[in-house]
């Protein structure tokens, strides 16, 4: 079977997009997903996205991690929305699309896409034993995907993300369900630098949209800041997260903002 595909990246987070909007015949099993996402034997990506029709919404985004598991992906969603507009599947702006965790609204402005992150949990903080380069308070927040986060005191501490990420990801608490692990370095009250170890990829990625969202909201709560937009520097580029901070400490109107770009398109034999 020969399948057309498109390759996208959003701040270095790269995705394979397959357009099955007008075809129900394109279905991939876990082994095929693993194959096309493999950087040595397939196309290579941080995830695979199927664009499908949705009942009641503009389109449906099915996202698969490289190991075949499913979740919501913030940067993947931004790329999917950009693809849907640029390919003529939809012309509405804003659009509303269906994803793994529910329904999201999105706006396109040239090469920048703003996606509503609609399923935000409550921030859970706890004291923990210090690891080298990290402080003793850690955070957990659901932003469509589960995220664990900790601060580092020095920028160089971010370089420990691979080792630290594996330690947390495969700890007794998270080894079964998995968790994304983030390290945060404070640049200012409205700006942070972060690094992410992603479950499903099982490696550091250049960027993570749901991770950037989680870290921005955690930073706002951690600093008790009045800012309503946080700028996040990732290895792959800059993202922004806007939000309303409620009196009870919760967040509303949370949006992930950043670039999305098509890299190339082609065909693959599966």
**Catalytic site positions:** 73, 208
- Cα(232)–Cα(120) distance, rounded to whole angstroms? 18
- Cα(193)–Cα(202) distance, rounded to whole angstroms? 21
Q: Are 10 and 46 in contact (CB under 8 A)?
A: no
- The sign one gets for the Cα dihedral 144, 50, 12, 83 is negative
Closest CA to 184 of 223, 209, 150, 137: 150
What the block records as the tokens of 5 is: 């595909």
What the block records as the tokens of 195 is: 């690094």
Q: Are 141 and 211 in contact (CB under 8 A)?
A: no
Report helix, strand or coil for 81.
helix
Q: In sequence order, what DSSP letters do the residues of 25-80 get, joined into one string?
A: -----HHHHHHHH-TTTS---S-EEEEE--SSSSEEEEEE-TTS-B---HHHHHHH
- Cα(164)–Cα(141) distance, rounded to whole angstroms? 18
Pairing outcome for strands 13-19 and 48-52: parallel
Q: Are 180 and 212 in contact (CB under 8 A)?
A: no
């Amino acid at each position: 079977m020969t399948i057309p595909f498109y390759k996208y990246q959003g701040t270095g987070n790269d995705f394979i997009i397959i357009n099955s909007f007008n075809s129900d015949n394109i279905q991939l099993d876990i082994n095929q997903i693993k194959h096309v996402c493999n950087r040595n034997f397939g196309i290579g990506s941080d995830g695979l996205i199927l664009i499908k029709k949705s009942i009641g919404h503009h389109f449906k985004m099915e996202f698969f991690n490289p190991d075949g598991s499913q979740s919501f992906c913030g940067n993947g969603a931004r790329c999917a929305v950009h693809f849907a507009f640029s390919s003529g599947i939809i012309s509405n702006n804003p659009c509303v699309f269906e994803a793994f965790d529910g329904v999201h609204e999105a706006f396109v402005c040239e090469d920048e896409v703003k996606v509503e992150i609609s399923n935000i949990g409550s921030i859970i903080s706890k004291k923990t034993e210090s690891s080298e380069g990290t402080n003793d308070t850690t955070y957990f927040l659901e932003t469509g995907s589960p995220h664990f986060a900790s601060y580092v005191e020095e920028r160089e501490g971010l370089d420990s993300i691979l080792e630290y990420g594996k330690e947390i990801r495969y700890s007794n608490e998270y080894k079964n369900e998995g968790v994304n692990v983030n390290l945060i370095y404070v640049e200012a009250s409205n700006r942070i630098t972060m690094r992410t170890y992603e479950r499903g990829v099982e490696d550091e990625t250049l960027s993570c949209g749901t991770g950037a969202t989680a870290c921005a909201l955690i930073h706002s709560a951690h600093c008790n800041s009045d800012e309503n937009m946080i700028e996040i520097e990732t290895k792959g580029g800059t993202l922004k997260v806007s939000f309303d901070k409620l009196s009870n400490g919760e967040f509303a109107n949370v949006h992930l903002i950043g670039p999305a770009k098509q890299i190339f398109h082609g065909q693959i034999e599966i």
